[in-house]
Structure 1
Amino acid sequence: MEQWLKDDERLDYLLAEELRIIQSPSVFSFSLDAVLLSRFVQVPRSKGKIVDLCSGNGVIPLFLSARTKAEIIGVELQPRLYDMATRSIQYNELQHQITMRLGDVKEAPATLGIEQYDAVTCNPPYFLAHELSEKNVSEHYAIARHELYLTLEEAVESASRLVKQGGKAAFVHRPGRLLDIVAAMRANRLEPKRIQFVYPKRGKEANTLLIEAIKDGKPDLKILPPLYVYEDNNEYTAEVRALLYGEGK
């Protein structure tokens, strides 16, 4: 086990997929948002090519590998996270399907190829650069959570350039940025087709937005049923337990 881990790292379970992922308390770990996006996006089951932007430690490519046989490429800017992702892929013996690329999302179309991918996923930084108020936050957390190196508009533009005509681009974000996402998508030939709002509990405001667009698609937006994360007793709902642990699948 030690051969796979460095410093303060640990191996966590992705239970529904029966996979393991390398994580560390000193860098940004994946959250429920990554699980939700990897389940929400529509991907080809067999042949095809997928790109995941802002891959972090590779969690979305790992989740997607359980849903598709397509080739998956993850793009990550931070060397530490890229290294962790690469080792997780090797640990799970998925290097034949998943490849990580170290680099800037804005440069991904030029390096990976324009309009060659069936689907693109992205869990981008949620907060504007000027919202960085935590003075002692680590660089890894700051880059993952704030638009220091990548804005929402830049992420959408890269996704559009990567995806084929008729291909899908899916994002997870905060509901407060819905209009920004829609405006950016439509400015980049991406027509929003599916939206789902995620709520911490019934009766609470939504705190997560899932949105999928089709390149050069016709206007026809579907609002999916709401997804609730917790019951009133603070236990996960049956839907979320199925996503996380595979219960009831």
Structure 2
Amino acid sequence: MSWPLKALSADRFLGGKLVLHQPLKGYRAGVDPVLLAASVPARPGESLLDLGCGAGAAALCAGRRVPGLRLAGLERQDSYAELARRNALANGLEMAVYQGDLSAMPEALRQAQFDHVIANPPYFRRDASTRAPQPEREGAMGEDTPLEIWVDAAARRCKPGGFVTFIHRAERLPELMGAFAARLGSLELKPLLPRPGRESQLCLLRGRKNGRAAFRLHAGLLLHAPPAHVSDRDDYTSEASRILRGGEPLIFG
């Protein structure tokens, strides 16, 4: 499937440094993949794989922030894989996009390993939530591949000494940490706090392949300054704005 332009919107990320075409109906990337990309401790010349890359938001944000980062993505929905390729080309970034499933990766990808592997897996278990009406959105939001398989695939594609970073819902954290601890070491957790006084809804979890350092729980990143949403204006904290608009890194420590 090829998306006609009339079915897409052109959305600005990183303060306009990156423009992504996304479907008007279906799954649309918000700030989550931007925060995920910003948290990756990548350096120029290293490689990054985005599992379930969608239209390419996380990988391309990382590529825009870190010049010379070699990008790859795996996406099971061919329409989104094609859109990720289009978005990479339109933004002048090179990205190898593979179409396939976590359990049935293309051979070329199964033979490769990366310095960084990232993922923004579907958040919601369908035994405890409602399916999305659009098939494309359901494919991105509703879990039909167990979280453990996501982590196992990421760990296998990560180089020794490399990093795996996921963003996920806080209520799934016990399950996610268990899967990480079975395959990775040096775990670090960064809660994302929506507003002052509110519980964390999202977390960033990072592990290192063959890492041996003790677990670290970092201070949370506060995203919005006011305790409640009072207007349609941007109310991000200065730190969150520097990350989301200015393309600065999200430092765990």
Q: How does the TM-score come out when normalised to structure 1?
A: 0.89
Matched residues in 2 for 1:248 and 1:30: separation? Answer: 19
Aligned partners of 1:52 and 1:60 also within 8 Å: yes
Superposition RMSD in Å: 2.1
Which structure 1 residue ranges, 5 or more long, are not aligned?
none
Alpha carbons of structure 1 residues 80 and 246: separation in structure 2 relative to 1, 3 Å: same
Alpha carbons of structure 1 residues 247 and 77: separation in structure 2 relative to 1, 3 Å: closer
Aligned partners of 1:114 and 1:163 also within 8 Å: no
Matched residues in 2 for 1:209 and 1:179: separation? Answer: 11
Q: Match for 1:47 among 45, 48, 73?
A: 45
Aligned partners of 1:17 and 1:66 also within 8 Å: no
Q: Deviations over 1:183-214 (max 9, x none)?
A: 111222x1242211011111111000101000
1:101 aligns with 2:98: yes
Q: Deviations over 1:135-174 (max 9, x none)?
A: x6111111101112x2211100000100011110000001
The SS at the match of 2:5 is coil
Runs of 4+ in 1 over 6 A off after TM superposition: none
Q: Match for 1:220 among 191, 214, 230?
A: 214
Deviates more, 1:113-122 or 1:78-87: 113-122
Q: Match for 1:182 among 142, 160, 177?
A: 177
Matched residues in 1 for 2:14 and 2:210: separation? Answer: 36
Identity %: 28
Matched residues in 2 for 1:35 and 1:181: separation? Answer: 20
| One-letter amino acid of the counterpart of residue 179, structure 1 | P
Q: What is the aligned partner in structure 1 of residue 77 from structure 2?
A: 78
1:205 aligns with 2:199: yes
CA-CA distance at 1:6 after TM superposition: 2.6
Alpha carbons of structure 1 residues 25 and 47: separation in structure 2 relative to 1, 3 Å: same
Deviates more, 1:203-212 or 1:235-244: 235-244
1:142 aligns with 2:141: no
Aligned length: 240
